[in-house]
Structure 1
């Protein structure tokens, strides 16, 4: 049996073609090397522009790599997505939204800008322009000033604000940074260090971020000294990672917040949804629109040459190549991601095949004495809302077609791998309504996916079926009946929705 994170056993005679495919993608995307290294600090300017690598990581932690995937570089702006996640995990969405918005800025990532979200009454104090105002004696009525916030957490103003939301009030800048470093390490599944040389170089030119922090302090969006927060934020951006690290960090997001190798829950699923949503619209600087339409995977890029992308429920992707386009994004990294998206159908707007195959078989069985007949639905695969809706239509149609000839229903889930929450709820409700309509309901669910219990006689409450069995052996002596033509069409005929007018039982009745 393969260990978690292992693609194949040592000595395997048949090797996976995925690493070879990934190498082809990297090679084909590197036919030239346009763009330029970021030049504002020496460590980025002097990085080897010929290095290029790509990683894919599955939700069970298997990493496929090609090229320079173990070369360390500074995480830079990619850290923004993960610190935003940590801030949401600690403070909740509403509290974070009071400080940082979610709208694309349409401006440079290091622009000194805030959006106005309202006004508030003040006594003596600063106006929205930073001018101190004191009421004159005898004046009455409210004095108002703007309330503002950064547009999103993927620009520097929003990222610096999110940085200050980590940890309890009153902690030092160094303590806050350490919490962030440990948080990012949890996403990566290993202890991450800091490139001190890159940190020192970037601090020497951190004037713009200092100006941003002063602006944030002026509007009370941060409550720490600007110089302290800029130092800690710059150190956050200097954390060292590899493409392999970023792939696993992306996969932690794709896996609903659970690190695939350590199996630690780093953040809650609702946090992941928020982070990926903002990454989708704001994560790729001013090239976000092109990225969404051509690649279509939530992603974040960095001026160090990294790109991190996460496709929910499927995989994480990371690339590394230092030369950047006009938006500050790796040229070859974008090429690689687009090729992977096109080849593998990863675009988030890609429409999958309809979930018709969820009903594996649909037939009837009759007791030896002819006194009882059951309709059997054998299901397979993963049941989501769309596939559950098809099962329910089949149940509803069957209740109409078998109204006088069947008194029971068997739901066979032995070939089902998983059932999501909404599918579970509506399927249980359908069982409840079947029982209320007089049908005896048997459930074959050895994995307990529907979480139903058997009850011979009792109230038609949620989660109750008439019998829970492990297989069809109960019906070994029963005769399989010829399936009526209409029944044969239930799982494949596009005319199925037209039967709705005749359904005896409707989920939404």
Structure 2
């Protein structure tokens, strides 16, 4: 059987392309002004690394501001949360991507707008890293997120550098506030190279899924950054990633996302899917018109809104076999699904119903797909209390979920 997913993606792409000539390419950067406005690609990556694409899914373009969450992730991994927070905040700005947006102490409001991203760039790598070493750390780090070696588009870099006066002014402003490490010129030059890395929508989908999978690249299986870093990055993306349209985006689409002025859009839904889309025409906020439509459609069709609660907790119990049902004198509590707090709480309530009759109990986890730290702790405590009540407890755990 041929999977229907590629056909579905192609249908989504075709339906979202029917928008006439809405939007405009980023004409303020000469190289981007020459982009073909009809290019349109879509890709998704699943948690096991399966990739699906449609349209211009292998056409390469510069990553631009989609590099911001990944540079932020590297800075957090390299320098720690406390150090990064001394220089860059986490509050939504409500401003356009290139506005002066500082807190009273001179700290940029977040790492997703230019003034914060330039500051974040200087925090990647060791504190004494040279500008060239920092750029290489970002290039290699983003390559690890993508699962292949990324290269800088030198023509776009030169084009952007020739129009970087505003970014230079932002860098000097933060430097004057004592929040920018190193020289403003080096920060802007390195940030411009960071934005000039070439990707396609398949790369974006893998990079997004890596964030959504707690930092493990689903294709290479390499742990790129710690899980806590991804939680921090996704939180800031959810509230700040789409600039002054972030609130509208979060309420309608509900997927942590980031856009770039070359026309790329990246969406990362924790534990489920990574999304990449590309089409050069931009709306008034600097987001790809078609890319936004793709994410809206996928969210609606596939129920991907972050605030849409999955119906898992109420379906944790697969069944209970009473001691006299098969005449073996053993009570079996059979669980299924994913064990997080809500699911484990339902399981504990079922264990609570076990009579204090001293009968042996089997806790069957063979149908449980995964557990998190809280779920494991709760189940272990439930088993301990059954044993304390005088039951002999046998745990069927073929995948070693409680041993992790």
TM-score range relative to shorter protein: over 0.9
1:107 aligns with 2:95: yes
Cα deviation, 1:322-352, whole Å, max 9, x if unaligned, reads 0011100001111111000000000001122
Distance apart, 1:89 and its partner CA:
0.5
Distance apart, 1:381 and its partner CA:
2.5
Structure 2 unmatched runs, 5+: none
| Residue aligned with 2:265, SS | strand
Residue 29 of structure 1 corresponds to 16
Alignment of 1:17-56 (within 5 A): 17-32=4-19, 33-56=21-44
**Count of aligned positions:** 403
Residue 79 of structure 2 corresponds to 91
TM-score of the pair, normalised by structure 2: 0.96
1:411 aligns with 2:363: yes
> Which residue of 39, 42, 60 corresponds with 1:72?
60
Distance apart, 1:446 and its partner CA:
2.3
Cα deviation, 1:423-443, whole Å, max 9, x if unaligned, reads 110111111111112222121
1:397 aligns with 2:353: yes
Q: 1:383, 1:73 → 2: CA distance?
A: 40
CA contact (8 A) 2:363 2:395 kept: yes
Distance apart, 1:354 and its partner CA:
4.4
Structure number with higher helix proportion? 2
> Which residue of 140, 148, 166 corresponds with 1:208?
166
**RMSD of aligned residue pairs (Cα, Å):** 1.7
Alignment of 1:444-459 (within 5 A): 444-451=396-403
Farther-moved stretch of structure 1 (412-421 vs 199-208): 412-421
> Which residue of 406, 423, 429 corresponds with 2:381?
429
1:149 aligns with 2:107: yes
Considering Cα pairs closer than 8 Å and 6+ residues apart, tell me whether 1 or 2 has the greater RCO.
2
CA contact (8 A) 2:318 2:334 kept: yes
Q: 2:289, 2:110 → 1: CA distance?
A: 24
1:379 aligns with 2:335: yes
| Residue aligned with 2:276, SS | strand
CA contact (8 A) 2:119 2:187 kept: no
CA contact (8 A) 2:111 2:117 kept: yes
Q: 2:189, 2:117 → 1: CA distance?
A: 13
Cα deviation, 1:108-132, whole Å, max 9, x if unaligned, reads 211123102xxxxxxxxxxxxxxxx
Distance apart, 1:367 and its partner CA:
11
Alignment of 1:242-281 (within 5 A): 242-281=200-239
Residue 183 of structure 1 corresponds to 141
Q: 2:233, 2:183 → 1: CA distance?
A: 27
Q: 1:260, 1:38 → 2: CA distance?
A: 32
Cα deviation, 1:383-429, whole Å, max 9, x if unaligned, reads 22222111111111223xxx45x522211122222222111101111
Cα deviation, 1:11-62, whole Å, max 9, x if unaligned, reads xxx1000000000000011112300001111211110000111101011211
Residue 153 of structure 2 corresponds to 195
Structure 1 unmatched runs, 5+: 1-13, 117-146, 453-509
1:327 aligns with 2:285: yes
Farther-moved stretch of structure 1 (236-245 vs 375-384): 375-384
> Which residue of 163, 182, 186 corresponds with 2:121?
163
TM-score of the pair, normalised by structure 1: 0.77
| Residue aligned with 1:50, SS | coil
Distance apart, 1:366 and its partner CA:
4.7
Q: 1:328, 1:213 → 2: CA distance?
A: 21
CA contact (8 A) 2:106 2:174 kept: no
> Which residue of 371, 375, 392 corresponds with 1:440?
392
> Which residue of 266, 290, 298 corresponds with 2:248?
290
| Residue aligned with 1:412, SS | strand
| Residue aligned with 2:370, SS | strand
> Which residue of 186, 200, 209 corresponds with 1:228?
186
